[in-house]
Amino acid sequence: MAKVLLIQPRIGEWDETRSHLCVPVAILAAATLAANEFETVLIDSRLPGWKEKLLQELRKKPLCAGLTSITGSQIKYSLEISKFIKAHSDVPVVWGGIQPTILPEETLSNNNIDIIVMNEGETSFLELVRKLDKKESLHGVKGIRFKENDNVIQNEEREYLDLNRIPNLPYDLIDIKHYLPLFKGRRTLYMETSRGCVGKCAFCSNIVYNKRQWRAMSAETVLERIKSVYNKYGINSFYFIDDNFFVDLKRARKISEMIIEQSLDIIFEVQGIRYDSALQIDEDFLGLLYKSGLRKVHFGAESGSQRILDMVGKGITIDDIINVNRRWAKYDIVVQHNFMAGFPTETIDDIKATINLIYKLKNENPHAMTSPICPYTPYPGTALYQKALDNGFTKRKTLEDWIEADYGDSIWISPSRGNLLKKIFFVTLFLESEREKDMLSSPFLKLGFGIYRKLAHFRLKNFFFAFMAEMTIKNIISYFYLKMRKFRRVEDS
């Protein structure tokens, strides 16, 4: 049987600090159909010994080597792996994920990448591998672009998939013991039950990737997937990483009702929920969600400035955010409000309004928490991208130029504003003790975060970011901690 090779690149420093790695959902999704027809090997570069394993597999001449990448620092790790593959073989390198979908030209212009799979990859990747196996032309494979005689061939786009007809992820390709990070003390599986979002947010890459088309598994399919891993691996905690889990409130209600009816002892966290959806969740529904195991939700608040919210097309008011936060305070459900800064035309007063809203939300809901305030990244194809260009953002020309697109790319506004945003992001990393309980595995790091938290709150409340030697200290500590963590993982393996 012909062989397919899939490699999971590193995601970032959270890989090394959390209790366990998160399941490589994107890579497993790519393998979902291909693994039924081809011998499929998954190598996780976040685990020790991956280079030796990769070299062994390359010597067996697989049909291709596939990777995934989101825009930002993950590009660096995916490129390092791609260069390693090219240095040791002539195996075609295939990239999928958000990065090649929103920036196909920049991605394929790199000499280490031969083919890209755009948008959803399950069917496109299967058809691509079939063609490679038969040594046939790649023309006609929907959803891909590829190089041919120094030309880039752009095939027809592929229609979106019916998620109910796609098999469950092939978890047998991984050793589950390496994964399942903690949530509320339980080892947790990351799971996708829907794709896309109906929102019109002007900054979001979802507009390009999913074109505002929301697709979902039925409630019955979701329960079937939950029960399969519940029974096989004893997993009783789930993180639904959907872009927008609550688009169909009847579906969400039915999932909760079925969990209760089938007496499943599980808890779950939901990544995507909009405030306009939450405003439609009445007291009865909220109680049902809690009874079924909902323990955390993530809202996209983005800004405490109404002017900014209107500019980026959120379709909500500051009062909507406050009202939802108050209503959900009645239940022991962590309500995480996610914020950004560095939008085009944003002023210092806008940023201060965000900080003021953060503390208002925390004061009115004991279960409210905030994300780090992340610097905004201008994504091509979004409505806000042109405004960013008009306000000083320089268009990136190469794949490597996009490596710095997360956690600090807003230096394009001005060096001083970029430096300020980096400091704000750093300080807001340390605000929440709730996040540290599960995200940090080291008692040493938990102690350090706890000691620094009071200073972090002082800096943020007073907008005082001078003399921040702690950023250098953190980098030094991180360097030695990551070395030690890597050594321990080698021993554990």
pTM for the whole structure: 0.92
Helix axes 470-492, 443-462, angle to 10 degrees: 150
Shared domain for 392 and 273, answered yes or no, is yes
- For residues 75-89, give the mean pLDDT: 96
Based on the structure, what is the number of domains in the chain? 3
Give per-residue pLDDT as tens, 140-151: 999 999 999 889
439: confidence class by pLDDT, cuts 50, 70, 90: low
Is 9 within 8 Å of 79 (Cβ atoms)? no
Give per-residue pLDDT as tens, 188-240: 999 999 999 999 999 998 888 888 899 999 999 999 999 999 999 999 999 99
Q: Which residue has the higher pLDDT, 440 or 102?
A: 102
- For residues 117-133, give the mean pLDDT: 96
410: confidence class by pLDDT, cuts 50, 70, 90: low
User: What sign for the dihedral angle of Cα 322, 326, 328, 334?
Assistant: positive
- Residue 489 has a pLDDT of 47
Domain range for 482 is: 430-493
485: confidence class by pLDDT, cuts 50, 70, 90: low
Tokens of 305: 């400035």
Domain annotation covers residue 231: yes
Q: Which residue has the higher pLDDT, 475 or 107?
A: 107
pLDDT surpasses 70 at 76? yes
Identify the domain boundary among 137, 154, 171. Answer: 154
487: confidence class by pLDDT, cuts 50, 70, 90: very low
- Residue 259 has a pLDDT of 98
Domain annotation covers residue 424: no
Is 179 within 8 Å of 27 (Cβ atoms)? no
Domain annotation covers residue 26: yes
d(CA 363, CA 117): 46
Domain annotation covers residue 224: yes
d(CA 295, CA 316): 24
Shared domain for 122 and 211, answered yes or no, is no
- What is the 8-class DSSP label of residue 49? T
User: What sign for the dihedral angle of Cα 479, 481, 484, 489?
Assistant: negative
Place of tokens 């979106």: 160
Lowest mean pLDDT segment, chosen from 14-18, 299-303, 370-374, 447-451: 14-18
- Residue 11 has a pLDDT of 85
491: confidence class by pLDDT, cuts 50, 70, 90: very low
Is 28 within 8 Å of 153 (Cβ atoms)? no
Give per-residue pLDDT as tens, 55-66: 999 999 999 999
- For residues 247-255, give the mean pLDDT: 97
Average pLDDT, rounded, for the chain: 91
Shared domain for 73 and 128, answered yes or no, is yes
Shared domain for 147 and 231, answered yes or no, is no
Shared domain for 319 and 375, answered yes or no, is yes
Shared domain for 337 and 469, answered yes or no, is no
d(CA 423, CA 471): 8
Shared domain for 392 and 467, answered yes or no, is no
Give per-residue pLDDT as tens, 254-270: 999 999 999 999 999 99
Shared domain for 240 and 372, answered yes or no, is yes
- In the chain, what percentage of residues exceed pLDDT 70? 92
In terms of phi and psi (left: phi > 0; alpha: psi -120 to 50; beta: otherwise), the region of 153 is beta
Domain annotation covers residue 476: yes
Identify the domain boundary among 154, 188, 221. Answer: 154
d(CA 38, CA 27): 15
Give per-residue pLDDT as tens, 373-409: 998 988 888 989 888 888 888 888 889 988 877 654 5
- Residue 406 has a pLDDT of 64
Shared domain for 13 and 149, answered yes or no, is yes
- What is the 8-class DSSP label of residue 408? S
pLDDT surpasses 90 at 433? no
- Residue 341 has a pLDDT of 94
Domain annotation covers residue 171: no
Q: Which residue has the higher pLDDT, 346 or 485?
A: 346
Lowest mean pLDDT segment, chosen from 54-63, 296-305, 440-449: 440-449
Is 25 within 8 Å of 190 (Cβ atoms)? yes
pLDDT surpasses 50 at 490? no
Supply the DSSP string of 82-141, one letter for each residue. HHHHHHH--PPEEEESHHHHH-HHHHHTSTT--EEE-S--HHHHHHHHHHHHTT---TT-
Shared domain for 233 and 285, answered yes or no, is yes
pLDDT surpasses 50 at 468? yes
* 151: exposed, middle or buried (Cβ count in 10 Å: 0-12, 13-18, 19+): exposed
Q: Which residue has the higher pLDDT, 248 or 404?
A: 248
Shared domain for 43 and 75, answered yes or no, is yes
Tokens of 156: 């027809």
Domain annotation covers residue 139: yes
pLDDT surpasses 60 at 329? yes
- For residues 13-29, give the mean pLDDT: 82
**CATH number of the domain that residue 26 is part of:** 3.40.50.280
Give per-residue pLDDT as tens, 161-193: 999 999 999 999 999 989 999 899 899 999 999
d(CA 148, CA 114): 9
Tokens of 292: 């079924």
pLDDT surpasses 90 at 480? no
d(CA 241, CA 24): 12
Domain annotation covers residue 9: yes
**CATH number of the domain that residue 385 is part of:** 3.20.20.70
Lowest mean pLDDT segment, chosen from 201-215, 295-309, 479-493: 479-493
12: confidence class by pLDDT, cuts 50, 70, 90: confident
pLDDT surpasses 90 at 97? yes
Identify the domain boundary among 115, 137, 154. Answer: 154
d(CA 35, CA 400): 31
- Residue 23 has a pLDDT of 94
Shared domain for 13 and 129, answered yes or no, is yes
- For residues 333-360, give the mean pLDDT: 96
28: confidence class by pLDDT, cuts 50, 70, 90: very high
- In the chain, what percentage of residues exceed pLDDT 90? 75
